[in-house]
Amino acid sequence: MLEDKEIVKDADIMNLDESSTIKYNFKSYGKQTVKVIVTNSVWKSVELKKEIVIPKKLKMKNQIVFSENGTEMEWIKYEEKTKEYSLYEIWVPTTLKFDAKLLRADNPLYQLQEISWDVGNDGSIDSKEKSVEHKFELPWFEEVVVKYKFVHRKDKTDIIEMKDTISIELVEKEAILVLDVKPDSEYAPTLVTFDASLSKVNDDNIVKFTYDYGDGVIEERDAKNSGHRYLKEGNYYRAIVSEKNYIIFVI
């Protein structure tokens, strides 16, 4: 018995699980009483009752914005049916930012009143801000549970609660690149020293450091580079590129 509608199914003794299962689309939300009457072969019946809650449904006009180390991430997969974001092969250590400031319901009568973030899905609330950052340091599969509370603008007793899950695959970086740059003066000419000794490559050794200083000079030096003199003022851009058996630091 569902919403005063009677649905009858005959039991299949060889497949009780399937023969006792039904699908039903509720026409209204809120508390509903489900009543099941089980009748055996001698027509003796037992009645079971259970109260369930059918929630109101809202859809989001926008999604959470993700950033990694200050750079906005694209191609984040979101599954509408399971309400799940999926982030694959995120290198650690890294800092991820989750920004829900632009979230809006498709129904303008409902306003986002409260949001909570549970990093690690351990039942604790880590933040109630609309934007949160978290540093991930170990390779693992992490889950972040985001809960929302929407309130009707006119009827404050009309509340809709929703939940999303963020699944994150964290993997160890192929290379961790660290470069300490120290000029001896803020003005040209200046001698700049470099220290890349904390850099490492997984399951391999670094065998060469090549420095491209950005002023036309390229040379091989040790991890601790005693210095290169810049004679002219200007911007010398730094990039870091990893290769199979060595690391190139471009300064």
On whether residue 9 sits in a domain, the answer given is: no
> 38: domain range?
16-54
- Give the domain CATH number at 89: 2.60.40
Task: Report how far residue 131's alpha carbon sits from residue 75's, in angstroms, rounded to the nearest whole number.
Answer: 20
pLDDT for residue 238:
53
| Residues of the chain falling short of pLDDT 70 | 237-251
Whole-model pTM: value is 0.61
Same domain, 74 and 167: yes
Instruction: Please provide the DSSP assignment of 45-113 as one string.
Output: EEEEEEEEEE-----BSS--EEEETTEE----EEETTTTEEEEEEEEESEEEEEE-TT--BSSTTEEEE
pLDDT for residue 29:
84
List C-alpha distances in Å: 77 to 65, 86, 87, 126. 12, 5, 7, 24
pLDDT for residue 240:
46
The count of domains in the chain is: 3
Same domain, 182 and 235: yes
Task: Report how far residue 202's alpha carbon sits from residue 83's, in angstroms, rounded to the nearest whole number.
Answer: 35
The answer to whether 175 and 247 have CB atoms below 8 angstroms apart is: yes
pLDDT for residue 6:
93
